[in-house]
């Protein structure tokens, strides 16, 4: 494994974060009715958090000598709230897995600060997933 492999992985994470910002903003705009109010508020809050992750990843990729992507990861567009939340739970779990894999790469390449930050971001995404699962259970 090389620094270039890590940069490639971080760019995948960045594309996922950019896609999540767009997905959450899109989904918040599509939320209607009483049941949607809590989801709309949660998505708006989480989109800001995901944007912070994207900014961090852009800085790290640049610092490592890479070129940060500006292409967001594509996503499905379920029409109903249950479908939206289910998609988000699935994608948050993927993000956790990817962050942990990239944290291990950072550790092997002796980037301890990056390893710890990626683990922190994985924990943050796991928390998002937990909140979304609770909402999904209530539908």
pLDDT digits (tens, 9 = 90+) for 114-126: 999 999 999 999 9
CA distances from 7 to 39, 69, 77, 78, 100 (A): 33, 10, 29, 31, 15
CB crowding 38-51: b at 16 or more within 10 Å, else e: ebbebbeebbebbb
Residue with tokens 């990861």: 73
Percent of the chain clearing pLDDT 90 (strictly above): 85
* Cβ atoms < 10 Å from Cβ of 101: 15
**What is the tally of structural domains in the chain?**
1
Contact indicator for 62, 119 with CB cutoff of 8 Å: no
Residue with tokens 């989904």: 27
CATH number at residue 109: 1.20.1260.10
In the chain, alpha helices (H): 3-29, 36-63, 81-108, 112-137
Q: Give the model confidence (pLDDT) of 68-113 as tens digits.
A: 999 999 999 999 999 999 999 999 999 999 999 999 999 999 999 9
Name the pTM for this structure: 0.95
Cα separation, 20 vs 28, in Å, equals: 12
Q: Give residue 135's pLDDT.
A: 87
Tokens encoding 62: 């640049």
* Cβ atoms < 10 Å from Cβ of 12: 17
Residue 70: domain span: 3-137
């Amino acid at each position: 494994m090389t620094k270039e492999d890590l940069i490639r992985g971080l760019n995948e994470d960045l594309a996922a974060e950019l896609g999540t910002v767009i997905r959450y903003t899109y989904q918040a705009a599509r939320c209607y009715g009483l049941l949607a109010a809590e989801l709309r508020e949660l998505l708006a809050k989480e989109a800001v958090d995901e944007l912070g992750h994207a900014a961090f990843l852009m800085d790290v990729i640049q610092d490592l000598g890479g070129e940060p992507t500006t292409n967001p990861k594509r996503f499905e567009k379920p029409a109903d709230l249950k479908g939206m939340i289910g998609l988000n739970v699935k994608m948050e779990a993927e993000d956790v897995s990817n962050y942990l894999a990239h944290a291990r790469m950072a550790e092997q390449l002796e980037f301890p600060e990056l390893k710890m930050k990626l683990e922190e971001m994985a924990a943050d995404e796991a928390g998002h997933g937990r909140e979304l699962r609770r909402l999904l259970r209530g539908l």
